[in-house]
Every structure is written in C-alpha cells, then in structure tokens.
Amino acid sequence: MSVWDDVVGQERVVNVFRAAAEAARVAVAARGRGGSGAAESVGAGDGSAMTHAWLVTGPPGSGRSVAARAFAAALQCTGEVPGCGECKACRDVLSGAHPDVVRMATEKLLITMDEVKTLIGEAQRRPWTGSWRVILVEDADRMAERTTNVLLKSIEEPPPQTVWILCTPSADDVLPTIRSRCRLVTLRVPPADAVAELLVRRDGAEPELATRAARASQSHIGLARHLATDPGAWERRRRLLLAPISLRSVGDAVLAAADLVDAAETEAAEATAERDAAEKAALLRALGLEDGGRVPPSLRAQVRQLEEDQKRRARRARTDVLDRAMIDLLSFYRDVLAVQLGSDVEQVNIDLSDVVARVAASTGPRQSLARIGAIEECRTRLRSNAAPLLAVEALMVRLRPQA
Ligand SMILES: [Zn+2]
C-alpha cells in the first residue's frame, strides 16, 4: 500500500507529487549536511520538482483534498520511498494527527481574517518532528480578497521548511497574485471504473452497486460513496428522474416543482441544522451566556451576525442540492439523447436503462435537446438567485411529456 492508493484516476498528478516528495528529500538531506538550505534548493523557478507553494485544483468530487493530504504525508514520510503509507509519519498525516501538518477545512462560507493569521503564525514555526511544516488549506476559494492579501507575503517568502498547499475547484478561484506564486496541479474527473474500484476497496461496496454509483454520480467520489452506502439516496434520485415523465398537466408540473424544492430545502436543512446549533452554542459560551438565556443588547449584534451567516449558508446548501438535482436530470436526458443518436458513450443511469429506452423511443432528439436546454437554463437561473420555485416550475412545464 501507499498514500497514493486513494488518489484514484490521477496518475499524472501522483507522478508530479512523487517527484516533488523525492526532490524534497534531497533538499532535506542537503539541509542536514549544512548545505545552502532548503529555501534555495527548492525555489519555485529553478526547475526543481519541489517548491514551497502549491495550488491543487480539480472539479468537485475529484479528490483534491485527498491528493493534497497524500502529498503532505509523502513530504513527512520516513519510509524508504516517500509516501510509503506504512511509517508512523504517513499514518499520522492521513489520520490528521501529525503535528507538522496544519489542516484548515471549513464548513463556513468564508475563512476569517483571524483564521488566516493563525495559519500564518503556524507557517512561521519550525517543524516539531517532521521534515517540513505543511499548511494545507482545503477551501482556499473561501477567502475574501482582503484576507488573501495577508496570506500573500507568507506564500511568497515562506520560511525554508514551510510548504503551503492550497486547494480550490479552479485556478480562477484565487487571486492572480496567489496563483502566480503557486505551482498549479490539476486533477481530472476520475474514470468511473477507478471510482467504483475505490468504493469496493475502501468502503466495502458490492462491485455492481459501486459501478452503478460511480456512473450515476458521474465520478463525483463523495456522491458516489453516498449512493453506494445510503439506499435512501437511490430512492430520492429515482423519484427525481422519474418525476417529469409522469406529468400529465401543468398542474402536475407545478406540484412536482414544489416537491422538488421542498425536498431540497429539507435535505439542506438536515445538513446544516446540527452544525448551526453547535456554532450558536459555542458562540454563546464564548460570550459567557447560556443557551436559551437572554442575550444582553450589547452582544446581540454578534449573535445576529452568526444567524445571518447561517441563513446564507442554508441558502447556499439549498442551491447546491438543487444544482445537483439539475445535473442528475441532465444526465438522464443525455442518456436518452445518446440512445436516440445511437451513440455508444457509457450511460450514466444504468439502473434506469429501461426507462431511458422507453423515453428515447417515444420522443426525438430534437425534444431531448430542448429539454437539456431547459435544464441548463434552469441551472443558470438558480445560480443567479432566481426564486427557486418559479425556476423549477418553468422547467417542469417544459419537461412534461408532449402529447
Ligand atoms: Zn511513510
């Protein structure tokens, strides 16, 4: 085994990180011999495979943070080959227990200035036990511009033994000034087979179920696992995909839209409720207040601020859930279109292939294209903060089977 085992379908990225970890070892050895120090030997522009600042990008679900953590482990590894996955350092990094890998992952909308200052402080320390001080920011896109500027200097001239690893969905999610100081590593959408294999090996999923889940999630690793481990998730997905087919009237379409938006709200609320309560309790404790007690006027602004943040997050969660539903619907009509055109691309919804075949036979490619267009349009409207119910109603009306 090695730390790269769970970095699925990313051979090119793994090779880059492997080479970097090996070059980093050479630099550490030189440092030990009283050489010129790591700063000079691993500079960004000198052609070395190792550098001090990394930007790891890749589409959601492609495994950015898993790849970044594997790289951090390889840097700290004391085994024969960097990233052996068996030495204490490798295991500690992967379990989150290594004192020299500082990981910042947030559920919050924004990483605060205080949090970034803490990280910069951590970056200034020398390693306790490891070879490097690794600062890993998993949601670097959640930084306000002002906050990012504070980070800039530390990324530009880190102490010689410090490595920054920033993760974002795309390189455009950070300021150009940050981007230009980092070496860019881009993950691809992993092949469905590789995702399925991971679900079998790591999560103990049945191979047939794992393949179905990997395809249905379109290789989004987190969603694939969700589908492979939660039968309720399949049922929700199935209901969603079958809903438009059974619509008989505009009235039906309006009801179906309400169902879909309700379900998204419930799912988003379930995902956020527990965290909201914990955050509020923590804030009240920090302010020296009791949960459920009266908040004195002087402290109300802080409590209100938190509640506002939580409301924003709930909206974002609902938008995410609805967007996911749109992607699922898109996949269904793309499957339909593929059958109509006799294309041999892999189907996403293999569990619904009979329904796909039926719809494909009863409509034409022109209709499928119109439906795909309608879904894309609805996605755009949802992202631009249109009233979700209106956008989804308009969509359902257009997806309705035409007599
Ligand atoms: Zn190791």
**Which tens digit of pLDDT belongs to each residue from 88-116?**
999 999 999 999 999 987 766 678 888 89
Q: Give, as residue ranges, everything with CB less than 5 Å from ion ligand 1.
A: 77, 79, 84, 87, 90
CA atoms within 13 A on the CB side of 217: 32
Q: What pLDDT is stored for residue 30 in this prediction?
A: 85
Contact 301, 287 (CB under 8 A): no
Distance 124 CA to ligand 1 centre (A): 25
Computed over every residue of the chain, the mean pLDDT equals 89
Distance 27 CA to ligand 1 centre (A): 17
Q: What pLDDT is stored for residue 44 in this prediction?
A: 45
Q: How confident is the model at residue 340 (pLDDT cuts 50, 70, 90)?
A: very high
Quick check: 40 pLDDT over 70?
Answer: no
CA distance 354 to 336: 10
Distance 3 CA to ligand 1 centre (A): 8
Q: What pLDDT is stored for residue 46 in this prediction?
A: 55
CA distance 332 to 218: 11
Quick check: 39 pLDDT over 80?
Answer: no
CATH entry, 11-186, from 3.10.105.10, 3.40.980.10, 3.40.50.300, 3.30.70.120 = 3.40.50.300
Distance 353 CA to ligand 1 centre (A): 45
For a pLDDT cut of 90, what percent of the chain falls above it?
Answer: 60
CA distance 206 to 284: 45
Distance 75 CA to ligand 1 centre (A): 9
Instruction: Please state which of the ranges 70-79, 163-172, 196-205, 310-319 shows the lowest mean pLDDT.
Output: 310-319
Q: How confident is the model at residue 38 (pLDDT cuts 50, 70, 90)?
A: very low
Q: What pLDDT is stored for residue 107 in this prediction?
A: 66
CA distance 111 to 105: 9
Distance 19 CA to ligand 1 centre (A): 15
Distance 24 CA to ligand 1 centre (A): 14
More confident residue, 143 or 46: 143
Quick check: 42 pLDDT over 70?
Answer: no
- In the sheet with 53-57, reading across from the earlier edge strand, the strands are 101-104, 133-137, 162-168, 53-57, 183-186
Q: How confident is the model at residue 265 (pLDDT cuts 50, 70, 90)?
A: confident
By DSSP bridging, strand 183-186 and strand 101-104 are unpaired
By three-state DSSP, how is residue 367 classified? helix
Distance 1 CA to ligand 1 centre (A): 10
Distance 138 CA to ligand 1 centre (A): 22
CA distance 92 to 27: 22
Distance 102 CA to ligand 1 centre (A): 18
Spacing of C-alpha 399 from chain mean position: 30
Q: How confident is the model at residue 41 (pLDDT cuts 50, 70, 90)?
A: very low
Quick check: 217 pLDDT over 50?
Answer: yes
Distance 79 CA to ligand 1 centre (A): 4
Distance 82 CA to ligand 1 centre (A): 6
By DSSP bridging, strand 133-137 and strand 101-104 are parallel
Between the alpha carbon of residue 296 and those of residues 238, 279, 291, 303, 322, the distances in Å are 49, 19, 13, 10, 38
Distance 13 CA to ligand 1 centre (A): 18
Provide the residue ranges of all domains of the chain, joining segments of one domain with +.
11-186, 192-229, 245-399
CA distance 155 to 137: 12
According to DSSP, the residues that pair with 137 across neighbouring strands are 104, 166
Distance 383 CA to ligand 1 centre (A): 43
Residues 239-258 pLDDT 10s: 999 999 989 899 999 999 99
Q: Which residue has the tokens 């050479």?
A: 26
Distance 204 CA to ligand 1 centre (A): 25
Distance 70 CA to ligand 1 centre (A): 10
C-alpha torsion 179→183→189→194, nearest 10: -150
Distance 185 CA to ligand 1 centre (A): 22
Residues 270-324 pLDDT 10s: 777 877 888 888 888 888 887 777 888 888 888 888 888 788 778 878 888 898 8
Distance 66 CA to ligand 1 centre (A): 16
Q: How confident is the model at residue 377 (pLDDT cuts 50, 70, 90)?
A: very high
Question: Exposure pattern of 93-126 as b/e (b: 16+ CB <10 Å)?
Answer: bbeeebebbbbbeeeeeebeeebbeebbebbeee
